[in-house]
């Protein structure tokens, strides 16, 4: 077994590998860029080596620097994690030639599966189901149209080297096929330097289901059940679960056996994933193979009890798999939510900056520990007070739960999301909460078009209807009454001027447009020692008990005998007197006041926010890479104005209306903050 390994990655996956290495008694070497010098993976590793500047092309993607770091520190093996160099055949080959073990498959396996056209031909030869299509590179858009007509619409136009949603279009007619071919070719050339395009049949109502496989250097290959990854936004996975609520045991076995046949055909060693697209009748077709550890590997670890990182290390060290296919378990149900640094209410734009608060829910399962089950696990590469840099992807944590069945896992996940505190940046937690509550998700009746279908116009606060909005009002009143009770005990109050508690309140639910809601609330039977009160809201009565303290953000307790987890904070950016309640993805900003104060509040004039329509504002923190207009230039609605780069993605800003540019307020290369004006139009 290795004595020391280097992790050629960053963030949560680097921390994940360190956890298993530590369990196995293996020393670890972290590598980092200048932007990551204070990162969590650097702190956790036994040693750390600086690679270079923040951009990954100058640090994490420079093979020479990583090999040099391994030699300098005496690391015998390199784990590439996922992304960066994990599926780079030249890097795997280079490691081997330098006498450093690559903790992953051999270079020939990566090469065979990395090319979508070549991998499809190999799959055909291994008698794996493949989608009907044209598997050779197509030279022109006109030929693409003829081929598409021959296969029959709808068709999927894909770049051979594509990935992450780039170089991918669905065409339903000749016009879309012609335009889609050209767009895919341009994207693929610019993103991957490879403009080969192929076409295949588009499977309607498709589900994305993948089989986890594991092979060793002795010719053994097993499948470790499947993962359901159909909940995707723009081809990026959002929620993953294992097993799938859709496929039968017979389909699972058939998919698993075909995945093993494909892996054996390329002499696969290490952990890998064979992705399938599954139609509404459980007909399944090979999509591609990921020759690395997947982001969503924890859900497989939960149901099988296997540490996949440990298995990868053991295989790389030449060990034989210590179990057979018959030993592979399927125990309970696991769900993973990707917690991303993005603003779901601003079309999921990246959100970077300092994590002012980062308190995940209480963990009862841990990385590299497969003995503890039926609980909550958090895989992360960040910590409270740390920075979320703009140079890398937006995922800051993975929240994983394991339950006895699917409904139990969903309930655990909703509770865990309620208790996940992130402040200083925006996260997609409200969106995850909405997805988990959606009846189609709960019933399992979804496919890869789920998000596009239900959130076609983006995600808004109204898309998270609370099952009982009056509970949020009652909880705000409960906390206010608790704080008033405490205030009565403060010493030194003047006789006749002491704090009076009272039982009648009005909860003002504050709205951005000034259309506030005023709800009379009566709080009685308050018992301070046990943190209990009975709260009347209209016809509803809420018996709330909570041991949480007033300064706790996360409040736990029971309401009418049912356990709950919510978040409560004093003060907001606009109102220091507010009580902000968050529960099940819904956020309510309230003021809890006396009935007389509520009457006076209703008389207050509403101050409308300033009109910013003449400005183009930066919707996120990022780097201004281009300003496409100049003062005096006439611009039409929809015309490109500026380009901002954040988290490996370019975001183009367009003019909302026709106008003439008055001033350009920011310059190319400048780092922008949220809502910073870039361009001002003449009135």
> How far apart are alpha carbons 289 and 123 in whole angstroms?
10
* 100 token code pair: 């450093």
Contact 657, 639 (CB under 8 A): no
CA dist 189 → 110, 162, 199, 287, 461 (Å): 21, 10, 17, 21, 39
Cis peptide upstream of residue 634 (ω within 30 degrees of 0): no
User: Comparing C-alpha atoms, which of 71, 70, 68, 52 is closest to residue 60?
Assistant: 52
Cis peptide upstream of residue 154 (ω within 30 degrees of 0): yes
DSSP secondary structure string for all residues of 179-211: HHHHHHHHHHHHHHS---EEEEEPPSS-EEEEE
* 358 token code pair: 């980062």
* 475 token code pair: 């909880």
* 529 token code pair: 């020692």
> How far apart are alpha carbons 203 and 220 in whole angstroms?
32
Element (H, E) at 17: helix 11-23
| Largest interatomic CA distance in the chain | 91
Contact 391, 645 (CB under 8 A): no
β-strand partners of 569: 580
Contact 145, 178 (CB under 8 A): yes
Residue showing tokens 């925006």: 426
Residue showing tokens 């640090």: 59
β-strand partners of 200: 133, 156
What is the end-to-end Cα distance of the chain in Å, rounded? 71
CA dist 437 → 337, 356, 434 (Å): 13, 28, 5
Contact 78, 66 (CB under 8 A): yes
Q: 336 catalytic, yes or no?
A: no
Residue showing tokens 């703009």: 390
Active-site residue (options: 241, 288, 342, 415): 288
Residue showing tokens 């209209």: 538
Residue showing tokens 């499977």: 203
DSSP secondary structure string for all residues of 93-136: HHHHHTT-EESS--HHHHHHHHSHHHHHHHHHHTT--B-SEE-S
Going by their DSSP bridges, the two strands 27-33 and 47-52 should be labelled as parallel
* Sheet strand arrangement including 47-52: 47-52, 27-33, 4-7, 77-79, 101-102
Contact 39, 10 (CB under 8 A): yes
| Beta carbons within 10 angstroms of residue 562's beta carbon | 8
> How far apart are alpha carbons 401 and 378 in whole angstroms?
9
| Cα three-residue angle 544-548-549, rounded to 5 degrees | 120
> Which residues are catalytically annotated?
288
């Amino acid at each position: 077994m290795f004595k020391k390994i280097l992790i050629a990655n960053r963030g949560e996956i680097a921390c994940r590998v360190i956890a298993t290495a530590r369990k196995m008694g293996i020393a670890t070497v972290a590598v980092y860029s200048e932007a990551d010098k204070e990162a969590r993976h650097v702190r956790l590793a036994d040693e750390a080596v600086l690679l270079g500047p923040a951009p990954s092309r100058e640090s994490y993607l420079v093979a020479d620097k990583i090999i040099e770091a391994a030699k300098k520190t005496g690391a015998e093996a390199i784990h590439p994690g996922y992304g960066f160099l994990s599926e780079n055949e030249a890097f795997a080959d280079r490691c081997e030639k330098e006498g450093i073990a690559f903790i992953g498959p051999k270079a020939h396996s990566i090469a065979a599966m990395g090319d979508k056209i070549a991998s499809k031909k190999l799959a055909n030869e291994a008698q794996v189901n493949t989608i009907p299509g044209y598997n050779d590179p197509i030279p022109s858009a006109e030929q693409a149209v003829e081929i598409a007509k021959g296969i029959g619409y709808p068709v999927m136009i894909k770049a051979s080297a594509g990935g992450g949603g780039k170089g991918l279009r669905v065409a339903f007619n000749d016009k879309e096929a012609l335009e889609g071919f050209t767009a895919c070719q341009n994207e693929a050339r610019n993103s991957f330097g490879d403009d080969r395009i192929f076409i295949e049949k588009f499977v309607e109502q498709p589900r994305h289901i993948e089989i986890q496989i594991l092979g060793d250097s002795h010719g053994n290959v097993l499948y470790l059940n499947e993962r359901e990854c159909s909940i995707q936004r723009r081809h990026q996975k959002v929620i993953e679960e294992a097993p799938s609520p859709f496929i039968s045991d017979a389909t699972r076995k058939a998919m698993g056996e075909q995945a093993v046949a494909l892996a054996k055909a390329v002499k696969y060693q290490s952990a890998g994933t064979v992705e399938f697209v599954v139609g509404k009748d459980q007909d399944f077709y090979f999509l591609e193979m990921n020759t690395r550890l997947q982001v969503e590997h924890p859900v497989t670890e939960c149901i099988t009890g296997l540490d996949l990182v440990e298995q990868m290390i053991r295989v790389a060290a030449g060990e034989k798999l210590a179990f057979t296919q018959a030993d592979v378990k399927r125990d309970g149900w696991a769900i993973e939510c990707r917690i991303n640094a993005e603003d779901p209410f601003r079309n999921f734009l990246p959100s970077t900056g300092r994590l002012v608060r980062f308190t995940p829910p209480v963990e009862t399962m841990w990385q590299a520990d497969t003995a503890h089950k039926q609980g909550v696990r958090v895989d992360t590469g960040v910590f409270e007070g740390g920075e979320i840099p703009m140079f890398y992807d937006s995922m800051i944590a993975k929240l994983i739960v394991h339950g006895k069945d699917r409904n139990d896992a969903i309930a655990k996940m909703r509770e865990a999301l309620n208790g996940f505190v992130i402040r200083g940046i925006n996260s997609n937690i409200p969106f995850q909460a909405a997805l988990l509550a959606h009846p189609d998700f709960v019933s399992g009746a979804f496919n890869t078009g789920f998000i596009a279908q239900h959130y076609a116009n983006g995600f808004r606060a109204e898309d998270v209807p609370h099952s009982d909005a009056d509970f949020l009002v009652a909880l705000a009143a409960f906390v206010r009454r608790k704080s008033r009770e405490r205030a009565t005990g403060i010493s030194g109050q003047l006789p006749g001027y002491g704090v009076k508690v009272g039982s009648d309140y009005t909860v003002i639910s504050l709205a951005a447009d000034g259309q506030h809601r005023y709800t009379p609330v009566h709080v009685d039977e308050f018992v301070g020692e046990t943190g209990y009160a009975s709260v009347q809201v209209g016809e509803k009565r809420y018996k709330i008990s909570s041991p949480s303290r007033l300064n706790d953000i996360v409040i736990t307790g029971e309401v009418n005998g049912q356990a709950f987890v919510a978040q409560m904070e004093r003060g907001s950016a606009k109102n220091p007197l507010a009580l902000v309640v968050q529960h099940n993805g819904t956020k309510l900003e309230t003021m809890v006041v006396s009935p007389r104060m509520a009457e006076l509040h209703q008389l207050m004039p509403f101050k409308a926010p300033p009109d910013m329509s003449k400005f183009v504002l930066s919707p996120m923190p990022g780097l201004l890479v281009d300003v496409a207009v100049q003062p005096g230039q006439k611009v039409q609605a929809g015309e490109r104005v500026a380009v901002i780069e954040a988290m490996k993605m370019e975001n183009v800003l367009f003019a909302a209306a026709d106008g003439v540019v008055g001033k350009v307020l920011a310059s190319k290369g400048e780092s922008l903050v949220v809502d910073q004006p870039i361009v001002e139009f003449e009135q």
